Amino acid sequence: MTRRSEPLPFGATIGILGGGQLGRMSAHAAARLGYRTHVYTPEQGSPGGEVASTVTVAAFDDAAALRGFCAQVDVVTFEFENIPPAVLDLLDETGVACRPGTAVLRIGQDRVLEKRFLGRMGIEVAPWGVVEKLGDLAAIPFPAVLKTTRLGYDGRGQARVANMAEAEAGFARLAPHPLVWEAYMPFALEISAVAARGMDGAMAVYDITENIHRHHILDQSIVPARISAETRAVAEANIRRLLEGLDMVGVLALEMFVMEGGEVIANEIAPRPHNSGHWTMDACQVSQFDQHIRAVAGLPVIQPRRHADVVMDNLVGPEGAARWDAALADPAAVPHWYGKADVRPGRKLGHVNRLTGRG
Ligand code: ADP
Ligand code: MG
């Protein structure tokens, strides 16, 4: 479905639900394009709140605060997908414009709905099943990964299990239930597609990114990805199909595994700018955050042009913070700091884009 509508006028306010770094970088992009931002977050001194035009610090179950926020913004977007379902209900009820729509969020925050949707789109996923009770563990082909259906991120809410005893321990430890099991995929590498779709249905797909995780957290993104032309074509076709199938407005990311033989297996989607797209900030004329804001504001998304090869390093926890000074002194590096209140292990504190050559 394509819609026509007037772009938001200069000075209009884009509401961003969530106060993390993705909101921060979206707010920067919005300001460049002439828009105000209003961040809603439960957190004082959040990375997004620090740079937004207006901040509401309130809990996600504060209906009065949420209604006030909706009344003050021209459109709502999201910087993380784990928005509580009751908040999505409230947004629907107020009739505030949401881009992407709340239906996309409902799919993206539930691994069961997400996998079913990917299946309906004809996109291959790892063998999987739902685990509601102990007896459901009998269906698992080991080795496997148990994951919570909801609220997982950066590997939280997951357990790799090689046998029934480990599966039972994982079932007891992980919450909330239900869980899903997935066959463990001995992939050759991980890639992602990041793309935007505007309100007119036009799509812009970035170069496929190769991703290296450490302790289940994205550590490095490499562009161009070291994949075959066939693998690239499948990955790009997948993201285009999903953008249309979801009637997406904004940026969508798809994480995928590439098997030894080149087969592409979809892992998960994120209906928002994605960590593996941060390289676009410095290696392209238009970043994923620019595209997201353009789409949300009803402006055209444009074809990205990459002018350099690039490696993005995430700065995670104290050891990531210790790499900041070197990044500042490197003429090939563009450092980005998120302004988080404290440095904790496993926390994404910033990233560095190192431009390594001509694209
Ligand atoms: P999160 O929501 O935390 O990003 P993911 O499902 O993307 O959760 O899992 C995080 C990482 O764990 C993946 O990027 C991958 O490295 C590894 N992983 C997840 N599922 C599997 C699987 N079925 N087989 C092999 N590795 C997996
Ligand atoms: Mg992931």
Specify the pLDDT at position 2. Answer: 44
Please determine, for residue 1, whether its predicted confidence score (pLDDT) is greater than 50: no
Provide the terminal-to-terminal Cα distance of the chain, rounded to the nearest Å: 34
Ligand 2 centre to CA of 151 (Å) is 12
Query: Distances in Å between the alpha carbon of 128 and those of 135, 152, 182, 286?
Result: 15, 16, 4, 37
Q: What are phi and psi of 350, to 5 degrees?
A: 180, -175
The predicted-structure confidence for 103-124, as pLDDT tens digits, reads as follows 999 999 999 999 999 999 999 9
Distance of CA 316 to the CA centre of its chain: 17
Nearest ligand to residue 127 Cα? 1
Closest ligand 1 atom number to CA of residue 157: 3
**What's the CA-to-centroid distance between 202 and ligand 1, angstroms?**
30
**CA-proximal residue: ligand 1, atom 2 (nearest):** 153
Atom of ligand 1 nearest to the CA of 184: 24
Query: Is the separation of the CB atoms in 293 and 25 below 8 Å?
Result: no
Per-residue pLDDT tens digits for 263-321: 999 999 999 999 999 999 999 999 999 999 999 999 999 999 999 999 999 999 999 99
Q: Which two tokens stand for residue 155?
A: 């590997």
Q: Give the torsion through C-alpha atoms of 294, 350, 54, 10, to 10 deg.
A: -20
Contacts 24+ apart (CB under 8 A), 29-34: 29/287, 29/289, 29/290, 29/292, 29/293, 30/293, 30/297, 32/290, 33/290, 33/293, 33/294, 33/297, 33/299, 34/10
CA of 293 to the centre of ligand 1 (A): 28
Token code pair at residue 265: 């297996």
Q: What is the pLDDT of residue 153?
A: 73
The ligand that comes nearest to the alpha carbon of residue 187 is: 1
Give 76-140 as a 3 state SS string: EEECCCCCCHHHHHHHHHHCCCECCCHHHHHHHCCHHHHHHHHHHCCCCECCEEEECCHHHHHHC
Give 145 Cα–ligand 1 centroid separation in angstroms.
8
The candidate with the shortest Cα–Cα distance to 73, out of 12, 5, 153, is: 12
**Residue labelled with tokens 């908040």:** 87
User: Which ligand has the minimum distance to the alpha carbon of residue 184?
Assistant: 1
Report which ligand 1 atom has the smallest distance to the Cα of 255.
7
Tell me the ligand closest to 217's alpha carbon. 1
Going by C-alpha positions, the residue among 256, 217, 250 that lies closest to residue 236 is 256
Which amino acids bring their CB within 6 angstroms of ligand 1? 126, 145, 152-155, 182, 184-185, 190, 213, 216, 255, 267-268
How far is ligand 2, taken at its centre, from the CA of residue 194, in Å?
A: 13
pLDDT of residue 359: 54
| Confidence band for 156, pLDDT divided at 50, 70 and 90 | confident
CA-closest residue to ligand 1 atom 9 = 155
- Beta bridge mates, 311: 222, 354
User: pLDDT averaged over the chain?
Assistant: 96
How many angstroms separate the CA atoms of 306 and 358, rounded?
9
What are the pLDDT digits (tens) for 207-241?
999 999 998 899 999 999 999 999 999 999 999 99
Q: Are 218 and 268 within 8 A, CB to CB?
A: no
In this predicted model, what pLDDT tens digit does every residue of 13-71 receive, in sequence order?
A: 999 999 999 999 999 999 999 999 999 999 999 999 999 999 999 999 999 999 999 99
DSSP H or E stretch at residue 294: helix 288-296
Q: Please report the atom of ligand 1 found closest to the CA of residue 145.
A: 23
User: Ligand 2 centroid vs 255 CA: distance in angstroms?
Assistant: 6
Q: Which residues surround ligand 2, an ion (CB under 5 A)?
A: 255
Mutate to test the pocket of ligand 1, among 145, 180, 190 (most ligand atoms within 8 A of CB): 145
d(CA 282, CA 310): 9
pLDDT surpassing 90 at residue 253: yes
| pLDDT confidence tier of residue 261, bands split at 50, 70 and 90 | very high
Q: Is the dihedral of CA 330, 222, 213, 156 positive or negative?
A: positive
pLDDT > 70 fraction of the chain, expressed in percent and rounded: 98
Question: Please, which residues have CB within 8 angstroms of residue 149's CB and are 6 or more apart in sequence?
Answer: 110, 111, 112, 130, 176, 177, 178, 179, 180
Distance from Cα 256 to the centre of ligand 2, integer Å = 9
Report CA(346)–ligand 1 centroid distance (Å): 16
Can you tell me the distance from the alpha carbon of 232 to that of 131, in angstroms, rounded to the nearest whole number?
33
